[in-house]
Amino acid sequence: MKKLSAVFVALLAACVLSSFAFAVEVPKLNAPFIVTTCGQSPGAVMVHMSAMQSKIAANHDNKLTADKLAAANAKTLIVTSGTSMKGMGAAGTNVESEIARCTELIAEAKKLGMTVIGAHIEGMARRTDNSDAASIEAVMKDADVILAVTDSDSDGFFTKYAQEHNKPLIVVKDALAIGPALKAAE
Rounded CA-CA distance 36/11 in Å is 45
Q: What is the pLDDT of residue 132?
A: 82
Assigned domain for 176 exists: yes
Closest among 11, 130, 33 to 77, alpha carbons compared: 33
CA 40 to chain centre: 15
The range of the structural domain enclosing residue 125 comes to 25-184
- pLDDT tens digit sequence for 168-179: 999 999 999 999
Band (pLDDT 50/70/90 cuts) for residue 131 is confident
Number of domain units in the chain: 1
Assigned domain for 38 exists: yes
CATH number for the domain harbouring residue 152: 3.40.50.2000
Question: 95-111 vs 130-140: helix axis angle to the nearest 10?
Answer: 10
Beta bridge partners of 145: 117
Closest among 50, 73, 56, 68 to 121, alpha carbons compared: 50
- pLDDT tens digit sequence for 102-113: 999 999 999 999
Q: What is the pLDDT of residue 155?
A: 94
Assigned domain for 144 exists: yes
Assigned domain for 6 exists: no
- pLDDT tens digit sequence for 77-117: 999 998 767 787 888 888 899 899 999 999 999 999 999 99
- pLDDT tens digit sequence for 145-157: 999 999 999 999 9
Q: What is the pLDDT of residue 127?
A: 66
Q: What is the pLDDT of residue 54?
A: 96
Assigned domain for 157 exists: yes
Assigned domain for 17 exists: no
